[in-house]
């Protein structure tokens, strides 16, 4: 750096265009400097501060980070975890806080009935009965102690939040109907809670029913990994009837007992932080966000950042919709005052003032856009070993779905024998039936790979796998599956590639276009051909060329792909000797056994 250099301030991420503008330089010069440094960037591309600072220096500027310029112990870029905030708190300031409980279980086993029953009989402040709950959470008192319930039954919501990095639940109540027993969603819920390391208390519901069979259900629970206390395990199983109200006090008692064994602390006077449970825009009141305060004391007037949205807490309401001035740890509240709607699972925190809130939010939006470009993907089987070598994983997490129980058992017992002291297979969840969306969410939240043994993903699972970048591998022979996992654990699994046919076109005419060369006027006779596909050209049954498609035109316009029944012009890389009657068979190359 030299004394003559002009000073500029740059954020953590900046586009090439904005960097050029900040320096009063031309974008072309910036791109050239970047290229000279080995970075191929387009004008709208985001570059990080370090890269921008190098280019700036070469163009005669000293770059300073805006983050340094207004240093505050607020983490920008990465979302802060409220837990990290608590970790920074002096131990002596930590106080017990109410536990936060989520209710999970199979459909129709009584989750909603239990939530309703607890709310109507035990709601805090003795307003039993007539209260109308305002938001998706409430608090009750038992033995003079508060318990917070999140009113979002179902493990999909639970895991969707966790996939975003949020962990709000301290304890899960697993509702199992005594007349129906452990069902597929019960097993899923167990897997989800265990993956989140959340302790489980079982509410054995519907014991009023004539065909209730609690003993059978306890055996099923033991087999599913929740061994009841009376079988010398450590799972509390509480018989209840949500319908009649029996056992409700016992459930609350059990929650407090488990809570006492957990470290459920927060600094009630510290900086407020927590998680967005849900949020919406209301026509007359603006953005309303339901949040769980997890640390500190949230006050009216505080400047707030939630995800990449900023604002000021204009009003706070408790779960009954009553206006309050402040809220401490484990309190569910609704607030007004955010500038836009944050996402469920976003974390919020309080900052010095609104200006800082806006700045942190802005930087996070930029960082989020930059990381969306390089979207995190889940592990693939052949990457596991390199991650292990880099010290990142000690376990290969798997979710296994098989067509029948008879295949599942040998697969699990063989897989459990694999690995060594350093790296092991951990089966997060297994079950029979097709692969569902909740399997994918669980895999995403636990960095797991999904294995389908004669089991296919349904449409929503396929879509979720694509967005969450979760790898699914398919097998129909047990020893192949075991062999692949063993090879992956030893770092010897080579990715295998296969072709997938996409579409077929028939050449019907030839055109010559200057600059492009010969273009084949085609009719797509099958499937859909994409601009980035590979293709084979055959003439009279013989393949005369194989290579990449370079462009597809429809009515003079370049198009990304074209479907059966449409006419188009296709040109290929390094080939232009088309003849009428040639067949173009297009395909893509994909990693074998994998869908994303």
The whole-angstrom separation of Cα 161 and Cα 429 is 18
Residue 342 binds ligand GDP, judged by CB under 6 A: no
Q: How far is the CB of 106 from ligand GDP (least distance, A)?
A: 7
**Residue 113 binding ligand GDP, by CB under 6 A:** yes
242 touching ligand GDP, by CB under 6 A: yes
Angle at 28 between CA 26 and CA 30, to 5 degrees: 75
In the complex, the smallest distance separating the C-beta of residue 157 from ligand GDP, rounded to whole angstroms, is: 13
Q: Which stretch binds ligand GDP (CB under 6 A): 35-43, 70-78, 235-243, 400-408?
A: 235-243
Beta strands in 368-496 (DSSP E): 395-402, 424-432, 449-453, 472-475
Contact call for residue 185 and ligand GDP (CB under 6 A): no
Using the rule CB under 6 A, is 112 a contact of ligand GDP?
yes
Q: Which of residues 143-162 bind ligand GDP (CB under 6 A)?
A: 153
Contact present, 199 and 190 (Cβ < 8 Å): no
Q: Of the ranges 180-188, 201-209, 283-291, 578-586, which one interacts with ligand GDP (CB under 6 A)? A: 201-209
Which contiguous run of DSSP H or E holds residue 425? strand 424-432
Question: For ligand GDP, what does the binding mask look like between residues 72 and 111, x meaning CB under 6 A?
Answer: ---------------------------------x-xxxxx
Site for ligand GDP in 402-421 (CB under 6 A): none
Region from 80-88, 204-212, 442-450, 465-473 binding ligand GDP, contact rule CB under 6 A: 204-212
Return the residue of 243, 256, 315, 427 that touches ligand GDP, per CB under 6 A. Answer: 243
Phi and psi, residue 429, nearest 5°: -160, 145
Q: Does the footprint of ligand GDP cover residue 268 (CB under 6 A)?
A: no
Query: Which residue in the block uniquely carries the two structure tokens 């027993």?
Result: 181
Main-chain dihedrals φ then ψ at residue 428, nearest 5 degrees: -75, -35
The one-character DSSP state at 80 is P
Cβ closer to ligand GDP: 239 or 379? 239
The nearer residue to ligand GDP, 243 or 368, going by C-beta atoms, is: 243
Closest to ligand GDP by CB, 202 vs 450, is 202
Q: Rounded to an integer, what is the distance from CA 249 to the centroid of its chain?
A: 36
CA 312, 318, 322: angle at the middle one, nearest 5?
100
Looking at the Cβ atoms of 214 and 527, the one nearer to ligand GDP is 214
CA 472 – CA 399 distance, rounded (Å): 9
Contact status: 270 vs ligand GDP (CB under 6 A):
no
HEC assignment per residue over 165-192: CCCCCCEEEEEEECCCCCCHHHHHHHHH
Q: In whole angstroms, how close is the CB of 186 to ligand GDP at the nearest point?
A: 11
209 binds ligand GDP (CB under 6 A): yes
In angstroms, the CA 11 to CA 6 distance is: 17
> C-alpha 477: how far from its chain's center?
31
Residues in contact with ligand GDP, total (CB under 6 A)?
Answer: 16
| Piece of 56-64, 205-213, 267-275, 483-491 that binds ligand GDP (CB under 6 A) | 205-213
Report the residue from 102, 167, 205, 585 that binds ligand GDP according to the rule CB under 6 A. 205
Closer residue to ligand GDP in complex, CB, 33/109: 109
Task: Give yes or no for a contact between 25 and 53, defined as CB atoms under 8 angstroms apart.
Answer: no
Confirm or reject binding of residue 208 to ligand GDP (CB under 6 A): yes
When the beta carbons of 22 and 120 are compared against ligand GDP, the nearer one is 120
Which of 105/332 has CB closer to ligand GDP? Answer: 105
Q: Are 440 and 446 in contact (CB under 8 A)?
A: no
Q: Which is nearer to ligand GDP, 173 or 396 (CB)?
A: 173
Task: Check binding of 120 to ligand GDP (CB under 6 A).
Answer: no
Our finding on whether 241 is near ligand GDP (CB under 6 A) is: yes
**Binding to ligand GDP by residue 206, rule CB under 6 A?**
yes
Structure tokens at 158: 């639970």
Contacts for 39 with CB less than 8 Å, ≥ 6 apart: 47, 51
Please, which residue, 204 or 583, has the CB nearer to ligand GDP? Answer: 204
Token pair of 440 as six digits: 């994918």
Structure tokens at 595: 């869908």
CB 411 within 8 A of CB 453: yes
Tokens (6 digits) for 303: 């400047």
| Contact predicate 134/202, CB 8 Å | no
Q: Which residues bind ligand GDP (CB under 6 A)?
A: 105, 107-113, 153, 205-206, 208-209, 241-243
């Amino acid at each position: 750096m030299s004394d003559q250099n002009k000073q500029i301030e740059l954020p953590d991420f900046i586009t090439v265009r904005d960097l050029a503008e900040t320096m009063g330089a031309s974008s072309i010069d910036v791109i050239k400097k970047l290229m000279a440094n080995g970075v191929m960037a387009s004008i709208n591309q985001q570059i990080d501060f370090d890269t921008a600072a190098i280019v700036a220096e070469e163009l005669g500027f000293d770059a300073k980070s805006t983050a340094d310029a207004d240093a505050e112990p607020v983490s920008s870029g990465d979302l802060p975890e409220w837990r990290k905030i608590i970790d920074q708190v002096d131990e002596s300031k930590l106080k017990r806080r109410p536990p936060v409980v989520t209710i999970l279980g199979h459909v129709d086993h009584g989750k909603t009935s239990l939530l309703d029953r607890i709310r109507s009989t035990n709601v805090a402040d003795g307003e039993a009965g007539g209260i109308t709950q305002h938001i998706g959470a409430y608090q009750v008192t038992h033995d003079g102690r508060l318990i917070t319930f999140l009113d979002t039954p179902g493990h999909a919501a639970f895991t969707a939040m966790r996939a975003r990095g949020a962990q709000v639940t301290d304890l899960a109540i697993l509702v199992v109907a005594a007349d129906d027993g452990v069902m597929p969603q019960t097993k899923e819920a167990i897997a989800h809670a265990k993956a989140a390391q959340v302790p489980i208390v079982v509410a054995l519901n519907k014991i009023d029913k004539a065909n209730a069979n609690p003993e059978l259900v306890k055996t099923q629970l033991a087999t599913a990994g929740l061994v009841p206390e009376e079988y010398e395990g450590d799972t509390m199983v509480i018989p209840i009837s949500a319908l009649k109200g029996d056992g409700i006090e016992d459930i609350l008692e059990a929650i407090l007992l488990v809570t006492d064994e957990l470290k459920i602390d927060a600094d009630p006077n510290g900086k407020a932080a927590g998680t967005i449970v849900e949020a919406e825009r209301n026509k007359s009141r603006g953005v309303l966000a339901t949040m769980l305060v997890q640390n500190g004391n949230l006050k009216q007037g505080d400047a707030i950042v939630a995800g990449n949205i900023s604002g000021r807490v204009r009003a706070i309401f408790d779960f009954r919709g009553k206006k309050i001035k402040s809220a401490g740890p484990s309190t569910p509240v609704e607030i007004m005052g955010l500038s836009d709607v944050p996402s469920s699972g976003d974390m919020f925190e309080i900052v010095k003032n609104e200006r800082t809130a806006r700045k942190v939010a802005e930087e996070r939006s930029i960082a989020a856009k930059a990381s969306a470009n390089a979207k995190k993907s889940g592990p693939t089987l052949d990457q596991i070993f390199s991650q292990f070598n880099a010290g990142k994983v000690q376990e290969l997490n798997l979710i296994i779905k098989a067509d029948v129980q008879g295949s599942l058992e040998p697969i699990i017992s063989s897989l459990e024998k694999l690995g060594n002291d350093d790296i092991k297979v951990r089966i997060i969840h297994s079950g029979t039936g097709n692969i569902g969306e909740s399997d994918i969410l669980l895999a995403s939240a636990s960095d797991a790979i999904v294995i389908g043994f004669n089991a296919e993903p349904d449409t929503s699972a396929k879509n979720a796998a694509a967005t969450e970048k979760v790898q699914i591998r398919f097998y129909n022979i047990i020893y192949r599956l075991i062999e692949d996992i063993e090879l992956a654990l030893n770092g010897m699994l080579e990715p295998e590639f296969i072709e997938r046919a996409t579409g077929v076109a028939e050449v019907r005419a030839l055109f010559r276009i200057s600059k492009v060369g010969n273009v084949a006027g085609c009719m797509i006779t099958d499937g859909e051909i994409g601009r980035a596909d590979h293709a084979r050209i055959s003439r009279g049954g013989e393949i005369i060329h194989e290579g990449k498609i370079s462009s597809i035109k429809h009515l003079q316009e370049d198009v990304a792909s074209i479907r059966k029944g449409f006419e188009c012009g296709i040109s290929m890389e390094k080939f232009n000797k088309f003849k009428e009657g040639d067949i173009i068979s297009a395909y893509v190359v994909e990693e074998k056994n994998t869908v994303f």
